[in-house]
Chains A and B, each alone.
Chain A
Amino acid sequence: MLRLDGVVKKFGDKRAVDAVSLVVPAGQLVGIIGRSGAGKSTLLRMINRLNDPSEGSIRYGDIDITALRGRALREWRARCAMIFQQFNLAGRLDVLTNVMMGRAFHAPLARSLFNIWTDDEKALGLSALEGLEMARLAGQRADTLSGGQQQRVAIARALVQEPELILADEPIASLDPRNTQVVMDALQHINRHLGITVICNLHSLDIARNYCDRLVGLANGRVVFDGVPSQLTDRVARDLYGLESDDVVGPDARPDYTPAEARPGLALAGS
């Protein structure tokens, strides 16, 4: 169980995340929704400790995540895998090597530095890739792949970590509709069948409603909604995305959300 208590992240004077308290029981698929700049990414990055919180505490079971350092911190990161909007693969390395990075915590340092992996580790990586229909591309350089393929490689990297928790930071924001579905289906499968808790930042409300067990809405760094998708009325959604204010039409504000009455049938929602 992941528990956040009054977590704050300040960048200079700006409070990107402002007193967020949240409890995520094991096995949930949680969608975090909100506009760009609402603090979703920062929140996820603090859980993986890519960013350190300015105040508050994050606990997992009886581990105090905020106090971890050195090897203990790396062990926590190995248990909580992260998936990024821009995939964050090493483009010049081949797919399998990228996936093997997920084993780097467990493998001895000297061996992994020389890019030597045991047959068991390679088999694990290839099996993860097979599950995502990527195994035949295992020898290709990651930067020759399409966005959807790269994100699948990133998911395979997360899977070989054998994590208890997967944090997905806008995993579909850079993808086309077909790949969006593939990636979201994969995350749902991981959650349902492997029992891994998934926390997923989404700016597309439709996707969030369709895939998640629970939605958490962030605005200006604060939690403004927390409940099951059916509780999320259009009114709440409009508040969340601030559609009535003028400033949403920025280049990166592009909320995929369209009011319910204007929404066509959910083409992507097959699962």
Chain B
Amino acid sequence: MTSPIVQLPQAQLRPLLAAYEATVRSRRWHSVMIAACVVAAIALSSISAEVAPMRLFENIGRFTSYIVRLFYLESGAPVWTDPAEWYWGLPRWLRLLGETLLMAYVGTLLGAAGAFGLCFLAAANVAPSRWLRIAVRRFCELCRTVPGLVFALIFVIAFGLGPMAGVLAVAIHTLGALGKLFAEVVENIDMKPVEGISSTGAAWHVAMRFGALPQTMSNFVSYALLRFEINVRESAVLGFVGAGGIGQDLIEAIRKFYYSDVSAILVLILLTVAVIDMLTARVRHRLIGLGENHR
């Protein structure tokens, strides 16, 4: 077979190849350096985190057997053969699940209300005072970075065991997360309406209410709904530290090796989360659609 390409003479070919190799080599050198850094970081981390692959390999059977055992009743029968036995605690779990949802709802709403109040103070384009803005930003950062569970631990001491501590933990974490997001939404608005309203002598609050808010409201609601989804998951484990909700029964089941209870509660939580996700996704799509239509 004849090739359509005429082979270059060696004298021409060599410098071309050399140039190509040189660029590739420098790129490769770069990659090798990065890879070396990553490998070093992994090695150091492995020591620090007491990684023991042998232990993992020896005991990996326990993981699979744990998962399998989740689906067997105490009697040895698979859970689906006797749903009544599997879900023996359904009334209590449903009540706790309802409490969990209520915690997520109240926490999200309180947190979102707080974030709503703060976001206009934290947005660079409309904030009335620079120092206040920085203070509000730092406060939101603190609320966002400290995990909800840590707040829950502290609130349990102050408010006692029970859902109130959980609600407040959810609320304060939501305040931090939404405060930042809301402020970003406000920073992206069209400033012309705000300016137009300010030029009439209207107070700052009026300019925010009529100039900024109509542009941001659908985004606010959408973010709050997204946060509600996250908070439902979060509320489900707050019971681990005694802050109410279904988590308290889940951790008890895990700690006491009531395998079928663990799977029963987990399935309940997963179903609830899936349903909530679906509902909020639908509402959010409608909201976004509304926003687009009106634009």
Contacts and interface: CB of A to CB of B under 8 A. Distances in A.
Consider the complex of A and B and state whether they touch directly, i.e. have CB atoms less than 8 Å apart.
Answer: yes
Interface of A: 48, 50, 74-79, 81-82, 84, 86-93, 97, 101-102, 104-105, 109, 112-113, 115, 141, 143, 154, 157-158, 161
B193 A88 contact: yes
A46 to B, nearest CB: 12
B202 A104 contact: yes
Interface in B154-213: 192-193, 195-203, 205-206, 209-211
Interface centre among B200, B209, B211 (most CB of A within 10 A): B200
Contact of A89 (B193, B209, B294): B193
A105 to B, nearest CB: 4
A88 B294 contact: no
B203 A84 contact: no
Contacts, number: 88
Interface residues of B, number: 20
Given A84-B195, A90-B193, A92-B294, A75 B201 contact: yes
B206 A109 contact: yes
Contacts of B117: none
B197 A101 contact: yes
B214 interface: yes
Nearest to B295: A143
Contacts of B222: none
B196 A90 contact: yes
B294 A82 contact: no
B196 A87 contact: yes
Interface in B231-254: none
A73 to B, nearest CB: 8
A84 B210 CA distance: 17
A89 B200 contact: no
Contacts of B203: 74, 104-105, 109
B215 A154 contact: no
B199 A88 contact: yes
Given A86-B192, A92-B215, A97 B210 contact: yes
A107 to B, nearest CB: 9
A161 B201 contact: yes
A80 B106 CA distance: 46
Contacts of A79: 201
Given A74-B203, A92-B215, A93-B214, 18 more contacts: A50-B199, A75-B201, A77-B199, A81-B200, A82-B199, A87-B196, A88-B193, A88-B195, A88-B196, A88-B199, A92-B214, A101-B202, A101-B210, A104-B200, A104-B203, A115-B209, A115-B210, A154-B196
Contacts of A141: 294
